[in-house]
Each structure stands twice: as structure tokens, then as C-alpha cells.
């Protein structure tokens, strides 16, 4: 079974690394590159927004449904993997 890891690297000003589909890193193949460097911040904002939406949904309808259960489970899983 393969595993996917997210690695964030900050390069000094002026250094522009090159990536391609053939790029390998420690024996694995690079499958995604975030060039603007804001993916982790965007993920955090999405988690917060989802949390607020779920709170609102639960206020309007206290009966928890499959969708809210799934969303809470995914949100909890996303928060587990953070350092």
C-alpha cells in the first residue's frame, strides 16, 4: 500500500527549484506541488469555515444526520494529521 505525505519546503530568495512528473524525492515520486505556498493556510481556513457551518446546521436542526457526521469525522481526521 502506498502512502502520501505532504512536505513543505521554504527556499531562500532567488532559488527557483524545478519539478516535473519524473521528479523523485527519497524514493517516491512527486505528485503535487503548491507553487504559491498558501495551501496550509487555506486548509486551516476551510477547517474553520466547515466547523462554523456545522455549528450553524446543528443549531438549526439538532438532529445529527449522515452528512454532518461525515463532515465532523473528516474535520477530526484533518486535524489529527497536523504537527
Residuewise pLDDT in 10s, the chain (83 residues): 777 777 777 888 898 888 777 888 888 888 777 777 677 778 889 999 999 998 888 888 877 788 888 888 988 888 776 54
The number of residues making up the chain comes to 83
Enumerate long-range contacts of 42-47, CB under 8 Å, 24 or more apart. 43/78, 47/75, 47/78, 47/79
Predicted pLDDT at 81 = 60
Predicted pLDDT at 83 = 46
Which DSSP helix (H) or strand (E) runs through 29? strand 28-29
Amino acid at each position: 500500500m502506498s502512502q502520501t505525505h505532504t512536505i513543505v519546503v521554504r527556499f531562500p530568495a532567488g532559488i527557483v527549484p524545478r519539478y516535473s512528473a519524473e521528479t523523485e524525492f527519497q524514493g517516491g515520486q512527486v505528485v503535487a506541488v503548491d507553487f504559491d505556498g498558501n495551501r496550509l493556510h487555506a486548509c486551516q481556513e476551510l477547517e474553520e469555515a466547515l466547523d462554523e457551518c456545522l455549528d450553524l446546521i446543528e443549531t438549526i436542526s439538532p438532529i445529527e444526520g449522515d452528512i454532518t457526521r461525515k463532515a465532523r469525522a473528516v474535520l477530526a481526521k484533518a486535524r489529527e494529521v497536523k504537527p
